[in-house]
Amino acid sequence: MLNLRVRLLCAVGLITVMGCAAESAASAASADAALAAAVASPTRSPSAVARDKVRHPVEELTFFGLTPKMSVVELWPGGGYWTEILAPYLASSGHYIIALPPSGSAEGDTQAARLKARLGAQNSGHFQETVLGAGHFEIAPPGSADLVLTFRNLHNWMDDGYADQALAACFTALKPGGILGIEEHRGRNDVPQDPKAKNGYVRQDYAIALAKKAGFILLGSSEINANPRDTKDWVDGVWTLPPSLSQGEKDRAKYIAVGEADNFVLKFQKPH
């Protein structure tokens, strides 16, 4: 009789575990479907969609562990490539903050106005605005964010002299166990890192050291945005390549053939 009871209890436990696993798998599949739907949305700008083949949005956001109920902070969203995906994806169940550069610079103000107009026209969902820049490092309430994302911005903060403060702001904003995702133009390992990153490239080991200095733990890296054709010795740095193509028509076909820069993708965690 005792053996029968043990077997029954084990069977019930196994069914419960299997049920939880099935529910978890169904939830993950639903989240993946929602992300794929956000990327496939017809409201996204054609210029952004054209870059999907080199930016791999579904794969990258999945690597960072994005889910629909997260509180997410995107830093310096620029033209809004990722914002067009994240805003509608998080609209129903999550919380979305965009941290913009401080107002006052022509470039920053122009980008902010363009971004707000695009999101408003596309009805991309609710989002909150904060500021990240010199003297402005409260990107979200302390310990409130599940995920902080920055795409190709680290070189700008290095140039402006506050990369350490920006990463410290990320650490403060995240919950214990929260994730920081960094995508950046990868510099050459055989060239010393320019602390100002004037050519737009940042060595991967240098970026890792900066994040660790802020208190983060490196969880992993992805090569989904690697480009071995990028020799990283261009006349105008990374802006020589698409999408900037700073040289205009000069050698345009050559630079288009190279494609967008070689980029690393890093996933960090704030310790529990």
CATH at 126:
3.40.50.150
The tokens describing 167, both together, are 């990463």
DSSP string, 22-84: HHHHHHHHHHHHHHHHHHT-TTS-HHHHTTHHHH-HHHHHHHHT--TT-EEEEE--TT-TTHH
For the cut 60, the answer to whether the pLDDT of residue 67 exceeds it is: yes
Q: Does the residue 129 lie in any domain?
A: yes
Q: Does the residue 33 lie in any domain?
A: no
Q: Does the residue 251 lie in any domain?
A: yes
pLDDT score recorded for residue 112: 78
Q: Does the residue 43 lie in any domain?
A: no
The tokens describing 136, both together, are 């402005």
Q: Does the residue 140 lie in any domain?
A: yes
The widest CA-to-CA distance across the chain, in whole angstroms, is 86
Q: Does the residue 216 lie in any domain?
A: yes
Q: Is the pTM of this model over 0.75?
A: yes
CA neighbor of 75 nearest in space, from 8, 5, 139, 145: 139
Q: What does the alpha-carbon distance between residue 29 and residue 93 come to, in Å, rounded to a whole number?
A: 16
The helix/strand/coil state of 171 is helix
The helix/strand/coil state of 155 is helix
The number of C-alpha atoms within 13 Å of 4 and in the hemisphere containing its C-beta is: 1
Across 52-69, average pLDDT = 97
Q: What does the alpha-carbon distance between residue 178 and residue 236 come to, in Å, rounded to a whole number?
A: 36
Q: Does the residue 38 lie in any domain?
A: no
Beta carbons within 10 angstroms of residue 250's beta carbon: 11
pLDDT digits (tens, 9 = 90+) for 132-189: 999 999 999 999 999 999 999 999 999 999 999 999 999 999 999 999 999 999 999 9
Q: Does the residue 176 lie in any domain?
A: yes
Query: What is the share, in percent, of the chain residues with pLDDT greater than 90?
Result: 78
Owning domain of residue 179: 55-269
The total number of structural domains in the chain stands at 1
